[in-house]
Amino acid sequence: MFPSSTVENYLKAIYQGQAALARDERLVPMGQVASALRVTPGTATTMVKALAESGLAEYEPYSGVRLSAAGEKLAGLVLRRHRLVELFLVQVMGMKWDEVHDEAEQLEHVVSERLIERIDEMLGRPTHDPHGDPIPSPEGAIATLEHDSLLTCPTGMPLRVTRVADQDPAFLRFIEQNDLKPGQRVEVEARDTAADSVKLRGQARRLTIGARAASKLLVEIDQS
């Protein structure tokens, strides 16, 4: 059998692929799984077949893969460990939010259930990690709330950033420098489709960002 960290990385990649599927799609294409894990399509297929044999996934040759209920639960538990570790590293260890993802990628496979439970308790049973990603329950269930991004939300409305859907350290630093972290306020003044850009009014300043960056900042209408 394969090392458990490999199995967990596949479960996580398929889970995240499923979350990004359009409503009418059921399966994550194998090419996408392979590129997310930086392996060849042949390697990915071998692994996914093994997952299917263990009852963790459904594999349809030439179409793709999706997780079984058991696979989704395990993926949820990996994400729970990852996100609690990230929050612990930021809140307790004083690390920066742009440097904790890589650490969590390692630790998510080795921290014990007991340690995670202790971290969860110590942090006051938090619901979100430093990037605004929801922390799954001890049963591996994740609250899935559909949020608009700065690319799709209404313009001229007070908004609050809820989640940053990109863990790239340079991107996270850009977000921090421009006061666009989860919890901070922002408003979309206008979108320019020709220039592929979005004009924002932040807490302290106005700025223009590209459409790609805008699509990775999730927001909700600010009710306060």
Give whichever of 28 and 164 is closer to Zn ion, judged by the CB atom. Answer: 164
Nearest approach in angstroms of CB 180 to Zn ion is 18
Give whichever of 89 and 159 is closer to Zn ion, judged by the CB atom. Answer: 89
Amino acid of residue 18? Q
Is the separation of the CB atoms in 95 and 87 below 8 Å?
A: no
Nearest approach in angstroms of CB 182 to Zn ion is 13
Give whichever of 132 and 202 is closer to Zn ion, judged by the CB atom. Answer: 132
Q: Which positions from 116 through 175 interact with Zn ion, judged by CB under 5 A?
A: 167
Size of the site for Zn ion (CB under 5 A): 3
Which DSSP string do the residues of 35-95 spell out, in sequence order? HHHT--HHHHHHHHHHHHHTTSEEEETTTEEEE-HHHHHHHHHHHHHHHHHHHHHHHTT--
Q: Give the distance from CA 190 to its chain's centroid.
A: 27
Give whichever of 45 and 167 is closer to Zn ion, judged by the CB atom. Answer: 167
Asked if 12 interacts with Zn ion (CB under 5 A), we say no
Angle at 132 between CA 83 and CA 104, to 5 degrees: 25
Tokens of 59: 């594999």
Asked if 101 interacts with Zn ion (CB under 5 A), we say yes
By beta carbon distance, the residue nearest Zn ion is 101
- Binding residues for Zn ion, rule: CB under 5 A, are 101, 104, 167
